[in-house]
Amino acid sequence: ICREAVHHKPKSNYAYAFDETTVHVRLRTKHGDVDRCRLLHGDKFEWPESTELTPMERVHSDAHYDYWQLAVEPDNRRLCYAFLLETADEALWYTEWGFESRAENELPTAGTDRSLHYFEYPFLNPADVHEPPEWVSDAIFYQIFPERFANGDRELDPESVEAWGGRPTRESFFGGDLQGIIDNLDYLEDLGITALYLNPIFESSSNHKYNTADYRRIDPHFGDEETLRELVDAAHDRDIRVMLDAVFNHCGRQFAPFQDVVENGADSAYADWFHVHEFPIEFEPRPNYDTFGFEAYMPKLNTGNPEVKEYLFDVATYWIEEVGIDGWRLDVADEVDHQFWRELRREVKAVKPGAYILGEIWHDSRPWLRGDQFDAVMNYPFTYAVYDFLTNESIDGTEFADKISRFLVRYPEQVNQVLFNLLDSHDTPRLLHRCDGDKRSLRLALLLLFTYRGTPCLYYGDEVGMTGGDDPDCRQPMVWDRSEQDRELRAFVAELIELRSSLPALRGGTLRFVDEECHGDRVVYRRIADDGDEITVAINRGPDPVDVSLPTDARDRELLFQVGDSDLVQGEDGQVTLSPTSGAVWR
Ligand code: ARE
ipTM: 0.98
- Write the CB contacts of 537 (distance below 8 Å, at least 6 apart in sequence): 447, 451, 524, 525, 526, 527, 583, 584, 585
Task: Determine whether 331 is an active site residue.
Answer: yes
Residues in Cβ contact with 347 at an 8 Å cutoff, skipping those fewer than 6 apart: 313, 316, 317
pLDDT in tens, 445-475: 999 999 999 999 999 999 999 999 999 999 9
The residue that leads in pLDDT, 441 or 572, is 441
Residue of the CA atom closest to atom 12 of ligand 1: 210
Look at residue 354 in the predicted model and tell me its pLDDT: 98
Query: What is the pLDDT, as a whole number, of residue 412?
Result: 98
The rounded distance, in Å, linking the Cα atoms of 383 and 409 is: 17
Q: Is the CB of 331 under 6 A from ligand 1?
A: yes
Tens digits of residue pLDDT in 69-98: 999 999 999 999 999 999 999 999 999 989
Q: Cα(277) to centroid of ligand 1, in Å?
A: 23
Ligand 1 proximity of 9 Cβ (cutoff 6 Å): no
Active site annotation includes 360:
yes
Average pLDDT for residues 500-528, to the nearest whole number?
96
Q: What percent of the chain has pLDDT over 90?
A: 90
Query: Taking 60 as the threshold, does the pLDDT of residue 566 lie above it?
Result: no
Q: Which of 169, 198, 208, 470 to mutate to test the pocket of ligand 1 (most atoms within 8 A of CB)?
A: 208
> Counting atoms of ligand 1 from 1, which one is nearest the CA of 170?
7
**Is the pLDDT assigned to residue 114 strictly greater than 80?**
no
The reply to whether ligand 1 has any atom less than 6 angstroms from the CB of 245 is no
Ligand 1 pocket, 346 CB below 6 A? no
Could you tell me if the CB of 147 is within 6 A of ligand 1? no
Q: Do residues 149 and 176 touch, judged by C-beta distance below 8 A?
A: yes
Give the mean pLDDT of 108-137: 83
Q: Ligand 1 centroid to 231 CA: how many Å?
A: 27
**Structural contact between residues 409 and 126, judged by C-beta atoms closer than 8 angstroms:** no
Tell me the mean pLDDT in the region 209-225: 98
**DSSP letter at 475?**
G
What separation in Å is there between the alpha carbon of 332 and the centre of ligand 1? Answer: 9
Closest ligand 1 atom to Cα of 428: 49
Which residue is catalytic, options 62, 245, 331, 424?
331
Output the pLDDT for position 46. 86
Protein residue whose Cα sits closest to atom 30 of ligand 1:
332
pLDDT at 575 over 90: no
Q: In this model, does residue 112 exceed pLDDT 60?
A: no
More confident residue, 567 or 539: 539
Res 107 pLDDT > 90: no
Closest residue CA from atom 42 of ligand 1: 210
Mean per-residue pLDDT, 178-201 = 98
Report the separation in Å between the CA atom of 427 and the middle of ligand 1, taken as the mean of its atom positions: 6
Say what the pLDDT of residue 44 is. Answer: 87
What does the pLDDT read at residue 48?
A: 79
**Quick one: DSSP state of residue 427?**
T
Q: What is the dihedral of CA 52, 57, 58, 59, to 10 degrees?
A: -130
Nearest atom of ligand 1 to the alpha carbon of 333: 30
- Ligand 1 centroid to 210 CA: how many Å? 10
Cα separation of 444 and 423, whole Å?
A: 12
Q: How confident is the model at residue 216 (pLDDT cuts 50, 70, 90)?
A: very high
Q: Which of 24-33, 121-130, 555-564 has the lowest mean pLDDT?
A: 555-564
**pLDDT in the model for residue 341:** 98
Write the pLDDT tens digit of every residue in 351-377. 999 999 999 999 999 999 999 999 999
Probe target for ligand 1 pocket from 471, 473, 474, with the most ligand atoms within 8 Å of CB: 471
Q: What is the pLDDT of residue 274?
A: 98
- What's the pLDDT at 76? 94
Contact 198, 210 (CB under 8 A): no
Q: Judge whether residue 522 has pLDDT over 80.
A: yes
Counting atoms of ligand 1 from 1, which one is nearest the CA of 470? 8
Positions of CATH 2.60.40.10 in the chain: 3-128
CATH 3.20.20.80 region(s) of the chain? 135-200+231-245+315-502
Quick check: 144 pLDDT over 60? yes
What's the pLDDT at 225? 98
| Active-site choice (360, 375, 462, 521) | 360
What is 135-200+231-245+315-502's CATH number? 3.20.20.80
Cα 428 to ligand 1 centroid, rounded to whole Å: 9
- The predicted pLDDT at position 358 comes to 98
Strand ranges across the sheet with 559-563: 510-513, 522-528, 534-540, 582-586, 559-563
CA dihedral sign of residues 16, 19, 21, 24 = negative
Taking alpha carbons only, the member of 524, 496, 194, 162 closest to residue 327 is 194
pLDDT digit string (tens) for 295-305?
A: 999 999 999 99
Q: Which strands sit side by side in the sheet containing 23-30, from one edge to the other? A: 15-17, 23-30, 65-72, 57-61
Specify the higher pLDDT residue, 323 or 575. 323
Does the beta carbon of 168 sit less than 6 angstroms from any atom of ligand 1? Answer: no
Ligand 1 centroid–CA 209 distance in Å is 12
In this structure, whether the domain defined by 508-586 belongs to CATH 3.90.420.10 is answered with: no
Q: Is the CB of 292 under 6 A from ligand 1?
A: yes
**Closest Cα to atom 21 of ligand 1:** 210
Q: What is the pLDDT at residue 372? A: 97
426 within ligand 1 shell (Cβ under 6 A): yes
Which distant-in-sequence residues (6+ apart) come within 8 Å of 423 by Cβ?
A: 383, 386, 431, 434, 445, 446, 449, 459, 462
Contact call for residues 322 and 294 (beta carbons, < 8 A): no
The alpha-carbon radius of gyration of the chain (Å, integer) is 26
The pLDDT value recorded for residue 105 is 57
User: 3-128, what's its fold?
Assistant: Immunoglobulin-like (2.60.40)
| Residue 364 Cβ < 6 Å to ligand 1 | no
Residues 171/161, Cβ–Cβ less than 8 Å: no
Please tell me if the CB atom of residue 300 comes closer than 6 angstroms to any atom of ligand 1.
no
> In which band, very low, low, confident or very high, does the pLDDT at 116 lie, cut at 50, 70 and 90?
low
pLDDT of 574 > 80? The answer is no
Angle, in degrees to the nearest 10, between helices 439-451 and 487-502: 20
Q: What's the confidence (pLDDT) of residue 508? A: 93
Look over the chain and give the mean of its residue pLDDT values, rounded to a whole number.
95
pLDDT of 108 reads 60
User: In the chain, which segments carry CATH 2.60.40.1180?
Assistant: 508-586
